[in-house]
Structure 1
Amino acid sequence: MAYLTKEQTANIFAEYGGKAENTGSIEAQIALLTERIKGISAHVKDNKKDFSSQRGLMQMVGQRKRLLAYMQRHNLQGYRALIEKLGLRK
């Protein structure tokens, strides 16, 4: 399983949250979840019987979905820019 290093996490927060210390911004949280989902998706494709990872993946996808719904309600322009930047909702 590919885990994110502290440097990768800090880079994601710096890129999407404005600075590395801004870990609470919705954009940064969604971007972090997206990166974690990509890593676990690759693991689950290789290990089809790893049901614990599948469950964790589904929980992360649900959390990202809830955060995106919140962002869509409160900041529609930012939501559209974020999904474009992350490559979601093709």
Structure 2
Amino acid sequence: MALLQERKQEIFAAYQKHPTDTGSSDVQVAMLTERINQLSTHLKIHSKDFSSRRSLLKLIGQRKRLLAYIRNENRDHYKALIQRLGVRG
């Protein structure tokens, strides 16, 4: 199930750098995190859904690469972002 438009707007508003920002690294990571959370709950119920599991792993890899990019650019910003998103326990 894809993200609802209202939820996307909430994420954009929370992580935008300027009013028309929909593609910065922060926004992309936040969107991926939301989708990863959705797929994780789906897989808890439907444990044999292997195509969703594969999609989840692809999304996790993509988020990992984006977070590595942010970490290389600005370590303080990276730490603040992962704290705000609640990833990397």
Q: TM-score range by the shorter chain?
A: over 0.9
Alpha-carbon deviation of 1:75? 1.4
How high is the TM-score relative to the length of structure 1? 0.92
Identity over aligned pairs, percent: 49
**Structure 1: where are the runs of 5+ without partners?**
none
Instruction: Please state if 1:62 is matched with 2:53.
Output: no
Query: In the alignment, what sits opposite 1:82?
Result: 81
Q: What is the CA deviation profile of residues 43-89 of structure 1, one whole-angstrom value per residue up to 9, with x for unaligned ones?
A: 01111110000000000000000000000000111101000101111
Specify the code of the residue in structure 2 equivalent to 1:17.
Q
SS in 1 for 2:47: coil
Q: Contact 1:11–1:20 at 8 Å: present in 2 too?
A: no
Structure 2: any 5+ residue segments left out of the alignment?
none
Residue equivalent to 1:16? 15
- How many corresponding residue pairs? 89
Mapping of residues 33-72 of structure 1, within 5 Å: 33-72=32-71
2-structure distance, mates of 1:47, 1:19: 39
1:84 and 1:50 map into 2 onto residues whose CA distance is 30
CA distance in 1, matches of 2:18, 2:47: 37
CA distance in 1: counterparts of 2:75 and 2:14, whole angstroms: 19
